[in-house]
Structure 1
Amino acid sequence: MRVITPELLAAAQRGFKTSFQKGFSGVASMYASVATVVTSTASEETYGWLGDMPKLREWIGDRHIKGLTSKGYSIKNRKFESTVTVPRDDIEDDKLGLYGPRFEFLGSAAASHPDEIVFELINSAVDATCYDGQNFFDVDHPVGKPGSVTSVENFAAGSGELWFLADFSRPLKPFIFQKRRDYNFTSKEDGKTSDHVFMRDEYVYGVDARVAAGYGFWQMAFGSTDTLDAANLREAYTAMTSFTDDEGRKLGVKPTHLVVGSTNLFKARDVLLSEQIDGSSNTNRNLVQIMEAPLLS
């Protein structure tokens, strides 16, 4: 039996952290592809500038000063954690190798977590409000100056699984991942003086973070629960390219990706990758890239 010393505990922690990092780095996350990552410096961040996408105009006379209309859209950071324990007996008996896969899985869970909360947000986009007070995917977003507001839709309702077109080429993507405190591996292992070790005879390790997800510009995405076919895809694509700002100027939105869950994957491939559809040339071929999102539902 080995004697528990600070050096032994430090070595154990290094081994556990190495396994954690192996699991963390082994995950191919999706969140940074669909959401703009924003560093947060407070408990919540207010995105008052949402809704005012800058565009240039010819400079004739004085500058046209366009004040930012405060939308009051805030994203509040949330705290997350996961904790595991290692019995003191296993450290004394040099059984630390048994815990490598467990800490590797903990690292994998931490790296996958941003995807979970971002797609939790996306899956709620039909029922959750964005900066303009409407649901993110909705049929009546108000666009225009006071007195001449019209309703614009970025959603087509149906009875199927959600799929959406998105323009991921812009500095601000349709969704926001807000990071206050990054995912951090921690431990509570101060030897025999630890209350937890004294009472439970085990050492505690974990990961925690303060993060959140929210909605960006609804104009950067068009969602649908209707059938994913060539006609509906073209309608969504055309609608996005027609979006304008409050002054009636086209925003120049051009969808880059079709995001689908596993149920719609092969429908998406048929629509976008087939050379022919029903004996005719497929004019949608390679129109946008397909992004399979297993967490989309």
Structure 2
Amino acid sequence: MTENTEPIISLKNLTMQYSEKHVLNGIDLDVHKGQIIGYIGPNGAGKSTTLKIILGLVDGYGGKVEVFGEDILTGNHAYKKKIGYVPENAEIYDNLTACEYLTFVGELYGLDAEEAEQKAENLMQAFEMADVFHARISSFSKGMKQKVLITSSLLHDPDLIFLDEPLSGLDANSVMIMKDILEELAKRGKTIFYSSHIMDVVEKISNRIVLIADGQIRADGSFEELQVESKEGSLENIFNQLTGFDEHREKAEQFVKIITNESVREQVTENVRDGKSVGDENE
């Protein structure tokens, strides 16, 4: 996939190692303006590590990382003001009200307090949370807290948005709203780096999908391009094919058999057939 414009993110031979474990093994990736990148892979593949390195939250990596054309090691940190981030597991000041928290975040990004509060209230109203804008976050459900986090990441109108499992806890209506938000932001030239395990959502919203496994890129292209290459119908099937995970049905059946005691009954039947008593295996 080639673009004529300078990439918003450029990763060159990105490597990362924790103790003896190699998490990233030479990632080369250019991300361009207006793209919605679906960044997927198995647990431990290096998805969150990649995001944290780009965000400047993790050091000790190898290779080169450029954001907005600047090397994040040698440039200044002004680029972070143009970034929005929803982490997978976020800490939030839940003793504050939504109004207090969002106004505080807005001020950190350079908005004045009045502008931040008004903008936050309007965004919360769009998320159908205007009635709890002045309530303490500690009283919110998981989904409501997630809406506050999403709002805080977009409040300052960032050019580059990182979303790590952003739909966690959201109800069906909010998921649809969020998908439309991302599409509208991309139309306005925002670049979105979206990491998730929910394949059907990634399939629907991403105009480019990057799949990593064992710290390396295994596939990179639109969903339609990946379909042609792999000859699979759904992103889930493409994922399973490229990561070599083809035991999901077998493992699911085994799990259910244990729950319903079918495996125990099958073992008893087998023992009877072989002429063993139930307690023979424990002797």
Which interval holds the TM-score relative to the shorter structure? under 0.3
Q: TM-score, normalised by structure 1?
A: 0.21
**Structure of larger gyration radius:** 1
| Higher percent of residues as helix | 2
Q: TM-score, normalised by structure 2?
A: 0.22
